[in-house]
Amino acid sequence: MTELLLVMTSLPDEDAAKALAKRLIDAHLAACAQLQPGVKSIYRWEGRVCEEQEVVLVAKTTVEQWPAISAFIKQNHPYDVPEVIAQPITHSHTDYARWVIAETAVTPN
């Protein structure tokens, strides 16, 4: 069976996260996206330590979609260097996996 992935990125606010999530779904790059608001990120950027509130977007997709979804996120993300990481889903309910595969295999018109 096709391997599933969780693809994660963080965005500056809920509006940006919701807009990107809808575009990923519309493009059939993800079957589902969840938004996790209220995340506090602490990181070093351009030599200084930053602390920001962000929204994490977690998209469910397939390994085959990784090149396309990662490029799409990079191209449509408001950050200069967005976090775009993926983690394999090692176990899932068969019906759910079939749904993710079917939703991400559809070629948009």
pLDDT score for 108: 54
- CA-closest candidate to residue 46, choices 77, 10, 81, 78: 81
pLDDT tens by residue, 82-92: 999 999 999 99
Domain count, the chain: 1
pLDDT tens by residue, 28-46: 999 999 999 999 999 999 9
DSSP 12-62: SSHHHHHHHHHHHHHTTS-SEEEEEEEEEEEEEETTEEEEEEEEEEEEEEE
CATH assignment of the domain containing 89: 3.30.70.120
Q: Taking the model in full, what pTM does it have?
A: 0.92
pLDDT score for 2: 78
**What range defines the domain where residue 17 resides?**
4-105
